[in-house]
Amino acid sequence: MAGSYSLYRCAVLSTSTGMLDSVLDRNSPIDILRLSVQMGGEKYADGLDLKAEELSDWLRSHPKEVITTSPPDKESLRKTFYYLKSQGYHEAIVTTISSRLSDTAELIRQLAEEMANDLKIHVIDTGTTAMPEGFFALEAIRLLSLGKTSAEVVDYLERLKPRCEILLAVQSLTPLTRNNGLLRMGAAFNDWLGLKTVLRFNEKGISHLASIQNNDQMIDRLIEALMVITADKNPTHLVISGGYCGDGALYNQFACKLNKKTGLHLESGIPVSPAVGVYTGLDAIGIGIVEKIQD
């Protein structure tokens, strides 16, 4: 990696919602652009000032209070990009949370236009979040380290978008309705009945897969959905990872049952970033699926 000229010319940045805090070490060349979480009258940098377990504690002790999120601060972004220029970078590839979930991609596009004469910024709206989102940045670094040009990397990442899926099981739909009305229809009625919900999210949007009565059924439907999505795919081409918000016990229950039913072994799940957990709510579990491009 150290010998790749492409890496010296082109920086890679990812929004904090990509769950990379849990997998990158301090020497990683990927910079994290942090969304903000507003709660209790304070503003926190996602994953830095506010950790996943701290959000979970807050949600449990303040179940009625509204928490909101916002894109990274525009002035901080501007300083970051000018710093990259001062360090000799000519370009930057920025992979972001889906524009269906956040205005972050549009904000960075505005800065890219503003700074066009100083730094060429490629904004990749990944169309997803959580693990699949983070995978885009990891792939960008991998390809640059192989000597690929920024244009080749951007083309690859654009082709990766339709190959990403998220399956999400939530206890309540109410938190999701805070996100620009993403899933308002039926949320109040669903929650009034005490139903849990399994959802599918990809580049095309969010869709409802099932409403069920208890966690055992929720886990079963999540596993069934995973088996359907991956049935016709080569397992060696898939990157599958699990995540959760809240207590990891429910995720472990899911992972064990998944292993018994399919033989698939998922390592310990990773907590989603607080900016994602705000909308999944407590005791949510999910699976990120990426079908790698075979070039």
141 — phi, psi (to 5°)?
-65, -45
270-271 and 205-212 as β-strands: parallel, antiparallel, unpaired?
Answer: unpaired
Q: Are 131 and 288 in contact (CB under 8 A)?
A: yes
> How many whole angstroms separate alpha carbon 282 and alpha carbon 170?
8
Residue 185 has what pLDDT?
Answer: 45
Residue 247 has what pLDDT?
Answer: 81
- pLDDT tens sequence across 239-251: 999 999 998 999 9
164-170 and 120-125 as β-strands: parallel, antiparallel, unpaired?
Answer: unpaired
Can you read off the two tokens belonging to residue 14?
Answer: 């990812």
Exposed/middle/buried for residue 206 (C-beta within 10 Å: 0-12, 13-18, 19+): middle
Residues 192 and 282 in one domain: yes
Q: Are 250 and 283 in contact (CB under 8 A)?
A: yes
Among candidate residues 118, 143, 161, the one where a domain is terminated: 161
Structural domain of residue 72, as residue ranges?
5-161
Residues 174 and 276 in one domain: yes
**Position 176 confidence tier, pLDDT thresholds 50, 70, 90:** confident
Residues 51 and 108 in one domain: yes
- pLDDT tens sequence across 104-148: 999 999 999 999 999 999 999 999 999 999 999 999 999 999 999
- pLDDT tens sequence across 93-116: 999 999 999 999 999 999 999 999
Residues 117 and 248 in one domain: no
If one compares 195 and 13, the residue with the highest pLDDT of the two is 13
Name which of 241, 239, 202, 195 is nearest 221 in CA terms: 195
Residue 4 has what pLDDT?
Answer: 57
Q: Mean pLDDT of all residues in the chain?
A: 90
Residues 102 and 217 in one domain: no
Q: Are 169 and 221 in contact (CB under 8 A)?
A: yes
CA dihedral 229, 232, 235, 236 (to 10 degrees): -130
Can you read off the two tokens belonging to residue 62?
Answer: 């303040």
Among candidate residues 161, 184, 214, the one where a domain is terminated: 161
84 — phi, psi (to 5°)?
-60, -40
Q: Count of CB atoms within 10 A of residue 9's CB?
A: 16
Residues 34 and 107 in one domain: yes
- pLDDT tens sequence across 44-96: 999 999 999 999 999 999 988 889 999 999 999 999 999 999 999 999 999 99
Is residue 171 over pLDDT 50? yes
Cross-strand pairs, 69: 37
Residues 14 and 141 in one domain: yes
CATH number for the domain that contains residue 231: 3.30.1180.10
Residues 139 and 198 in one domain: no
> How many whole angstroms separate alpha carbon 248 and alpha carbon 242?
11
Exposed/middle/buried for residue 46 (C-beta within 10 Å: 0-12, 13-18, 19+): buried
**Count of domains in the chain?**
2
Is residue 7 over pLDDT 80? no
Residue 81 has what pLDDT?
Answer: 97
Can you read off the two tokens belonging to residue 146?
Answer: 């192989």
Residues 169 and 139 in one domain: no
Residues 15 and 133 in one domain: yes
CATH number for the domain that contains residue 75: 3.40.50.10170
